[in-house]
Amino acid sequence: MSNTRYVYQISMVAALGGLLFGYDTAVISGAIGSIKAKFELSPALEGWAASSAIWGCVVGVAAAGFLADRFGRKKILLASAVLFAISSIGSALPQSLSQFVLARMVGGLGIGAASMISPLYISEVAPAQNRGRLCTLYQLAIVLGINLIYFVNYLIAGWGDERWNVELGWRYMLGSAALPALLFLLLALFVPESPRWLMKKGREEEALDVLVRVNGSEQGLQVQQEIRQSFDQEEGGLAELLQPGFRKALKVGLMLAVFSQITGINAIIYYAPQILKSVGFGTGSALAQTFLIGVINTLFTFVALYSIDKAGRRTLLLWGVSSMVLCLGGAGCAFYFQMTSGPWLLIFILAFIASFACSLGPIPWIMIAEIFPTRIRGAAMSLCILALWLAVVAVTQMTPILLDPVTGLGGAFTFWLFMVFSILLLVFVWKSIPETKQRTLEEIEQSWSQP
């Protein structure tokens, strides 16, 4: 019988990497307006300042899989916490845009690594029957991090007037991120190494100890045997992903990774205050509405948490993405018909966040962590999450330009563009994504080779 309490404890610690992810990426939403004023940024440089950390994430995730396969999942989690703490302090002190960008990129290295290692670690530790729920803890931690920094940004912005925020407020916002980073570093010291990584390195006694603590004595021995058999059946390295079965797994992983970002979530998460201010909300009101976005994001992530292992990944995706299509279409219409002074734009944005949070938010992280062979899971996940972060870069860099009515498409056509991407994803989910709930990692691996 599995030790549910122990499994949740170590999964929650690993999921704190997601809290850092959410906190760090969303902190820019409250700070970017002041940073733009401080350094007199054009729309293109505004996008560069907002996306600078994401470029670090690209490098971090590209290296994390190979480093995790060599040195272990736990060591890379610890390293990511250290990088994040250094960046938080550094990004609060710059005197130029270049210094700010460099500090944010350092933090991006840690966030990119954690974004790959945290769900990987949880998937390799969790029992099959509640792996989806445990992996959803990572997405829950992301939205809690987003919600927390929205609240912190709102409080800090209220300490002074707009001039004070341009000079100092944004520095406090960015520096506050050092606290969760140090908490993650401290707690991660006490989690065990991944049993599947230990098995891969020949440390079977250590692996069995973790498996028994997680699954119980009988089930732990059985899972260890399944892992050993999966190693015996695996040949080669990343070239396996080019074989017919695993090529399909790679396609699923890449599509979920990229489309989870280019369907509009980061345009809202990073630029919500700017979007709301552009249609008439004041600074304080826009930050308050952004906090409401964070609350909705959190509440509906709990919906995913409690339904993911019952309803299944595919079902939630179909319903959630369908709802996203309607909400994005509605938001575009609100801009097009100039209905932005009333509640409709905010309603469509909140409904979109709710739809995303209970489907496309957590599910890519879960499926990317469970569909690849153990031997190359780290490297394969790196490829998918590298693609995810490149998509984040593109959205973060381009959103200010797209939303600008002079240089870009304006609000209506920007949201409709995200709607088109959502429709493409919906078709892909319907035709190509299998259900993986209640199956062990080894069973999922074997299923790709079946006709």
Residue 187: how many other CB atoms lie within 10 Å: 17
pLDDT at res. 28: 82
Highest mean pLDDT among 52-61, 260-269, 360-369, 415-424: 415-424
Q: What is the pLDDT of residues 255-282, one digit of tens each?
A: 999 999 899 887 887 676 667 666 555 5
Q: What is the pLDDT of residues 396-430, one digit of tens each?
A: 778 777 777 665 567 788 889 999 999 999 999 99
94 backbone dihedrals φ, ψ, rounded to 5°: -70, 150
Average pLDDT of the chain? 83
Q: What is the pLDDT of residues 122-144, one digit of tens each?
A: 888 887 777 777 877 887 888 88
Residue 9 has pLDDT above 80, yes or no: yes
The CA-based angle 65-135-367, given to 5 degrees, is: 65
Distances from the Cα of 420 to the Cαs of 324, 367, 423, 429, 440, in angstroms? 11, 23, 5, 14, 35
- Among 128, 310, 133, smallest CA distance to 222 is for 128
Distances from the Cα of 335 to the Cαs of 28, 248, 329, 330, 355, in angstroms? 24, 39, 10, 9, 20
pLDDT at res. 219: 81
pLDDT at res. 87: 93
pLDDT at res. 283: 55
pTM of the model: 0.74
Can you tell me the mean pLDDT for 377-382? 76
Residue 71 has pLDDT above 60, yes or no: yes
The third-level CATH classification (topology) of the domain covering 4-191+242-447 is Growth Hormone; Chain: A; (1.20.1250)
User: Residues 52, 101: contact at Cβ < 8 Å?
Assistant: yes
Q: pLDDT exceeding 90 applies to what percent of the chain?
A: 25
Residue type, 346: L
Residue 48 has pLDDT above 70, yes or no: yes
Instruction: Collapse the DSSP code of 434 into the 3-class scheme (helix H, G, I; strand E, B; otherwise coil) and give the result.
Output: coil
Q: For the chain, which residues make up each domain, given as ranges?
A: 4-191+242-447
Residue 232 has pLDDT above 70, yes or no: no
Q: What is the pLDDT of residues 86-134, one digit of tens each?
A: 999 999 999 999 999 999 999 999 988 888 888 888 888 887 777 777 8
385 backbone dihedrals φ, ψ, rounded to 5°: -75, -25
Q: What is the pLDDT of residues 278-308, one digit of tens each?
A: 655 555 566 667 777 878 888 888 888 788 8
**What is the Cα gyration radius of the chain?**
21
393 backbone dihedrals φ, ψ, rounded to 5°: -55, -50
Give CA–CA dist 233/375, Å, rounded.
Answer: 10
Residue with the bigger pLDDT between 318 and 33: it is 318
Residues 6+ away with beta carbon under 8 Å from 86: 106, 107
- Among 134, 372, 392, smallest CA distance to 253 is for 372
Residue 449 has pLDDT above 90, yes or no: no
